[in-house]
Amino acid sequence: MKQRRIIAAVGFALVASVVAAACGGSSGDGSEDGTPTKGGTIHILSNGEQIAHLDPQRNYTGDDLAFAGSTMHRTLTSYAYAQGDEGSGIVPDLATDTGTFNDDATVWSFTLRDGGTFEDGAEITCADVAYGVSRTWASDVITDGPTYASSYIDAGDYPGPYKATAEQQAAYDKAVSCEGKTITFNLKVPVADFNYTTTLLAFSPVPKAADTGEKYDLKPVSSGPYKIESYTIGKSLVLVRNENWSQDSDPVRSANPDSFVYEFGLDEAVMDERMIKDAGDDQFAVSAGIQPENLPTIFDDDAFKDRRVDEYDPFVTYTNLNVKNLSCVEVRKAIYLALDREALRKAGGGPYTGDFADGFIKPALALDYKKSTMPDGLNVDGTANVEAAQAAMTAAETACPEVATRAKDGLSFYRPATPVWDKAVAIWIDSLGKVGIKLKDEPVEPSVYWPTVMNPETNYDIARGGWAPDWANASTVIPELFTTSGGFNLTRNADDPDYAEFQTKVDAAKKELDRAKQGVMWQELNQYVVDRLWALPGTFTKVQAIWGSKVGNAYQWAPFGAFNYGDLYVKS
Amino acid sequence: MSQDVVLSVKNLSVVFHTPDGDVVAVNDVSFDLRRGETLGIVGESGSGKSVTASSILRLNNSNTATTTGSIVVSGVDVLTAQDSEVRRIRGSEVAMIFQDPLSALNPYYTVGKQIAEAYLVHHPRASKADARGVTLDMLKKVGIPSPEKRIDEFPHQFSGGMRQRIVIAIALINNPKVLIADEPTTALDVTVQAQILDLMKNLQSEFNMAIVLITHDLGVIAETALDVLVMYGGRIVEKSTVEALFSEPTHPYAWGLLGAVTSLGTSDRGELVAITGSPPSLISLPAGCSFNPRCSYALEICSAQVPLLRSVGTQGSVTACHLPKDEILTFGRKAASR
Amino acid sequence: MFMFIVRRVFFALVLLLAVSFFTYMLFAMLPSDPAALTCGKNCKPDVIAANRIRLGYDKSLMEQYWLFLKGIFAGRDYGAGAAAFSCGAPSLGYSFGQHECVTTLIAQTFPVTAYLSIGAFVLWMLIGISTGAMAALHKGKWQDRAASIFTSIGVSLPTFYIGLLVLFSVVIWLGILPFPSYESPFENFSTFLRTMILPWLVLAVLSAASYTRLTRNGMLEAMNEDFVRLGVAKGLTTRIVLRRYVMRQALVPIVTIAGLDFAGLLGGAIITESVFSLPGMGKMSIRAVVESDLPVLVGTTMVAAVFIVSANVLVDIAYGYLDPRVRVK
């Protein structure tokens, strides 16, 4: 739960992790499902006080995307409603196909299906989609959402629909144009996987007349099978059937239960007890995130085997090294070899927190993942290899005495000031101390941790990081984390002698329209970073969830690391 | 019991049970009180005089104190009577006034209400208007100026002397036979003391009631009482008339008390400084005569045997002292003439 | 008396103004940055700066405080162009986390807290005073010792622990009551009762402990007062003496403390509301702390301050009625 909370706070979108039995990632038992039946009420127990954002253009967290997308907000394309690998594939949703594009993938078109309606019965038009997307430009009102649309689409200085002048609006209408039921996006750059981008709820339709700006978050208009009956932050969100939705126009959603009740503000210990007890309405409940102390109760007892899951979520954790300061791979290697990753994992909750990562791309991105060759001497069981680390330090003293001296004098270690990190940093200091590397602990108030380390003025040597791809393509991982134009590059690797070569390879991969070929290129680039240790792979994190005995189809939807809420049903 | 004996105390003993052991606060005290008479009880703090007084209304906590002997009021033994019978006696047959008028009144109710309450509890059929009338009369009697106005005021709005008048009003509202006054003037200003004593004397004759006046102040005794009990260490050590006490005191302790009185007949507060040493701790009373460690005339027998009360002297005084009679008279007269 | 009240109310208003100033400044100076908190993946300096403007934290602290104060009397406008909206007076600000005016949020959550507080308060006064009186009347006996055990348990056990224990045993393990799911008493009274009974009891029993002690000691102290002895000497029955003399005196400090305790509770019973999932003001405050929702935090703190300051004034006035000695002429 803690980890999920951090994830939510960071606000990263999640996409694409395959259940990956083939990769040995899953120890979940899954549910044996019969034929889904209609009717009943699904309960969702939550420690949170609200859905971070129900406004589709502002929704950007895995669990909320899975929930709102599968119940209320339709998008041009969607992930398949399926368990395992299949769930990471895209299917047409509001559109009739997964999009058509020109030769260099700079112009994308989607044609809307017939029969799609909003909850008031009005037909969903191309203009509604264009309007919805346009809201993402209004960064002073529509906050927290993904900004892909505005960074890909060429709309000049468009400020969003609320403040736009007629000219600015005309420029947008040209960039995102409607021709009958066909919507066309004109992009600034080639985006080979733009139809994955359109799975984001930012590409959901919004009827302009109903847009209340900031307040739209409380009562967005539904385009899916359910609509809001009541929403009280801190108490509950109740969804009931949208009578104007028709199955014929929506081949994706199964819409089994009659209603959903999202219960907010529950104590974490109480949630677990209720799920374990499985009484009354809790038999129809799902709950994600289990308190560490309750994990053995649930996972060591076969009584729970049909209603629990322990699986990869889309996240990878890692540690950024400031390559500018630590401009010597031997020192970086010494740090990695000396680090007792097993002790860190144990302190964080043991194997339930995840498996040791072999890079930055999770096996869930099946096309892009290939097991990396890890540095010589790295212990596969996660324990420190002090001898090998010492040898790396000795090598560093001749290869780059200045950097070695810097490491011995003390490296600044930036991390959020939380109890979990207080424990972890002690292990770091202890591990690295064994090879003579000193650390200066720099705890940062959690809410300002990211802004602090992303500020170029902050001169850290080591800073933690965590990432999940925005959709099932490593194009949302490698370039984001390791190129100078990436959104989350904390490695300061621009001056590394190999950087120019790396950038060229990344550019080539981004332009590659053959998805299989592109995958191989991402695999190589992942290995490229691992070889240079610009960042140290940490863990492929896992999520644990439990559901009531009368809930069917309670699988984890790979792209989101969350239940596929819309696919759940009540067992009769 | 003679017809006009209104209060008869026989062999009264009170034992307090404390965590440190039992304490005999009152030991074998007996006396009679006749209608209209005033009995003074003198002694230092801890002598048992106040406990004797509160026993008469059965005010000692029965959980922590054992009271034996008998206290007969109007033919009823207070110590063995039913609770309801004791409640009837309290206030109507025997009333009490306390040392500190500042704390004796309930601060949360008007004085009128508190006086009327005392009346109503013994006159359940009376109306509130009746009670108010009686209260107003009584306020006049005890000398409260403009009673119609002051009847609705709270105790804190009155001076100490006025408050004691109100306490007296409460005590006398039911025309009791016996008034127990426990140090009624001690907490008051010197000038007010005399007024209160005068008031008590006047009302005593008007209501024809008997008074038990408890004090450590021989000056007060001299002005008001007829008979006197001198108590020490829980026992009566001398029983005499006021005249006898001042002319022919028969107990070494009384001699000391007399020495402490600066000038008789005035209302000056007499301090008991002439007696050396301090009052005994009730929890470990000296063996024999309790007074012997402080007594400059003490004999060997005094620390071995408790002296019994016996008649001494020419004025009918009774004393508990081992000294030979003639020595008692000699020393007593000498002390009285100092 | 009238002048006394006018004077007290005036000082209370000045005090509230000072509280509002310090509350605003204190929360504004917390190390967590609300503008950085929601910027997520796009957490670049320009996004934080834009967010700061949106939330209104780009202005100087004094200007922010002035806008806050002005909003209380004149309402407040937010946003611009087609996305503009406003919070009418009395506006305590706008929560960008909950997409609602703080005044509206407080109006929604306060009734829950009020129901919880009133029910618990009535119960705890009944329990506290009756057990305290029982202990005083049976001083040193088993009743007194039982009350003393109750007191020491009550004051030492944390609400959080007892709340969870009761919730687990009664609801989850024994299944006697359904899991608390708050409903307004006007919508579904039986659900309301079933939801509130446990939090009422837990809060009441734990808070009653100190009132047991207060009542017991107050009564024992009163029983030693001369005026109580005089009451007995008048021939009054035990019941009347206890009521008019002993209890009357023991109640004075109890009423004073109870008034302040009750006001504190109205500001939000944070732990109880959290454990029993009651959507009250206390729970909203916790959420606001976690999410650095400063407007909500300032708003709930101000409301709590209003209750505590008013309770102080009321207690002072009540004190005058309860104890004639301090009554001002």
The domain spanning residue C143 has which CATH number? 1.10.3720.10
Among A430-439, A479-488, C58-67, C253-262, name the most confident range: A430-439
Name B19's Cβ contacts closer than 8 Å, sequence gap at least 6: none
Give Dmax over CA atoms of chain B in angstroms. 67
Name A567's Cβ contacts closer than 8 Å, sequence gap at least 6: A70, A81, A253, A254, A256, A553, A555, A557
Out of C140, C232, C240, whose CB is closest to B59?
Answer: C232
Within this chain, do residues C46 and C115 fall inside the same structural domain, yes or no? no
- Name the average pLDDT for chain A: 89
CA distance A87 to A70: 13
Cβ–Cβ under 8 Å, residues A87 and A79: yes
CA distance B241 to B209: 19
A315 vs C: CB within 8 A: no
Average pLDDT over residues C131-137: 92
pLDDT at A11 over 70: no
pLDDT band at B3; cut points 50, 70, 90: low
Phi, psi of A416 (to 5 degrees): -70, 140
B170 vs C: CB within 8 A: yes
C46 in any annotated domain: yes
- Beta carbon pairs, A and C, within 8 Å: 141
- Are the Cβ atoms of C42 and A147 closer than 8 angstroms? yes
Within this chain, do residues C52 and C179 fall inside the same structural domain, yes or no? no
C301 in any annotated domain: no
Within this chain, do residues C113 and C89 fall inside the same structural domain, yes or no? no
C279 in any annotated domain: yes
Within this chain, do residues C81 and C186 fall inside the same structural domain, yes or no? no
pLDDT at B338 over 70: no
Within this chain, do residues C166 and C268 fall inside the same structural domain, yes or no? yes
C237 vs B: CB within 8 A: yes
Out of A11, A232, A488, whose CB is closest to C279?
Answer: A232
Q: What is the pLDDT of residue C159?
A: 82
Percent of chain A at pLDDT > 70 equals: 94
DSSP, residue by residue, A54-70: -SGGG--SHHHHHHHHH
Within this chain, do residues C23 and C38 fall inside the same structural domain, yes or no? yes
Structure tokens at B173: 């509202």
Within this chain, do residues C93 and C139 fall inside the same structural domain, yes or no? no
pLDDT tens digit sequence for A264-318: 988 888 899 999 999 889 999 999 888 888 999 999 999 999 999 999 989 999 9
Single-letter residue type at A395 = A
Within this chain, do residues C314 and C188 fall inside the same structural domain, yes or no? yes
- Are the Cβ atoms of A265 and C40 closer than 8 angstroms? no
Within this chain, do residues C219 and C317 fall inside the same structural domain, yes or no? yes
C161 in any annotated domain: yes
Residue that finishes a domain, picked among C41, C68, C102? C102
Residue that finishes a domain, picked among C67, C85, C102? C102
Whether the full predicted model's pTM is greater than 0.95, yes or no, is no
**Nearest by Cα to C217 from C207, C205, C209, C229:** C209
pLDDT tens digit sequence for C159-210: 888 888 888 888 888 888 888 888 889 988 999 999 999 999 999 988 898 8
B90 vs C: CB within 8 A: yes
pLDDT at B90 over 50: yes
- The dihedral over CA atoms of B160, B162, B167, B171, expressed in degrees to the nearest 10, equals 150
- Are the Cβ atoms of C175 and A279 closer than 8 angstroms? yes
Name the residue with tokens 């005026």.
C227
pLDDT tens digit sequence for A34-77: 688 899 999 999 988 899 899 999 998 889 999 999 999 999 99
Q: What is the pLDDT of residue A57?
A: 96
Q: Alpha carbon of A476 to those of A361, A471, A473, C322: distances in Å?
A: 10, 7, 6, 72
Task: Identify the chains in contact with B, defined as 3+ C-beta pairs within 8 A.
Answer: C
pLDDT at B47 over 80: yes
pLDDT tens digit sequence for C142-157: 999 999 898 888 888 8
Out of A12, A218, A282, whose CB is closest to C41?
Answer: A12
**Contacts with A447 from chain C: Cβ below 8 Å:** 31-34, 36-37, 292
C241 in any annotated domain: yes
C249/chain B closest Cα distance in angstroms: 8
Q: How many domains does chain C have?
A: 2
Single-letter residue type at A539 = T
**Contacts with C99 from chain A: Cβ below 8 Å:** 214-215, 217-218
Structure tokens at A302: 């076969």
Name A433's Cβ contacts closer than 8 Å, sequence gap at least 6: A439
C299 in any annotated domain: no
pLDDT at B262 over 60: no
Domains plus CATH for chain B? 5-225 (3.40.50.300), 250-336 (no CATH)
**Domain around C52:** 2-102
Average pLDDT over residues A198-219: 94
Within this chain, do residues C76 and C131 fall inside the same structural domain, yes or no? no
Residue that finishes a domain, picked among C102, C120, C141? C102
**Contacts with A454 from chain C: Cβ below 8 Å:** 43-45
pLDDT at B259 over 80: no
Chain B's closest residue to C252, CA to CA, is: B108
- The dihedral over CA atoms of C100, C101, C105, C110, expressed in degrees to the nearest 10, equals 180
C-B interface (Cβ pairs under 8 Å ≥ 3)? yes
Task: Tell me the β-bridge partners of A230.
Answer: A238
Range with lowest mean pLDDT among A156-160, A367-371, B102-106, B268-272: B268-272
Within this chain, do residues C73 and C171 fall inside the same structural domain, yes or no? no
A-C interface (Cβ pairs under 8 Å ≥ 3)? yes
Q: Is the peptide bond before A190 cis (omega within 30 degrees of 0)?
A: no
**Contacts with C234 from chain B: Cβ below 8 Å:** 90-91, 117-118, 121, 170
* Dihedral sign (CA C302, C306, C309, C312): negative
Separation of CA C3 from chain center = 29
Is the ipTM reported for this complex over the cut 0.95? Answer: no
Q: What is the pLDDT of residue C50?
A: 78
C119 in any annotated domain: yes
Out of C227, C233, C240, whose CB is closest to B96?
Answer: C233
Within this chain, do residues C11 and C126 fall inside the same structural domain, yes or no? no
Task: Tell me the β-bridge partners of A140.
Answer: none
Average pLDDT over residues A387-411: 94
**Contacts with C324 from chain B: Cβ below 8 Å:** 107-108, 154, 156
Name the residue with tokens 């053959």.
A514
A268/chain C closest Cα distance in angstroms: 10
A62-71 and A2-10 helices, crossing angle to 10°: 80
A-B interface (Cβ pairs under 8 Å ≥ 3)? no
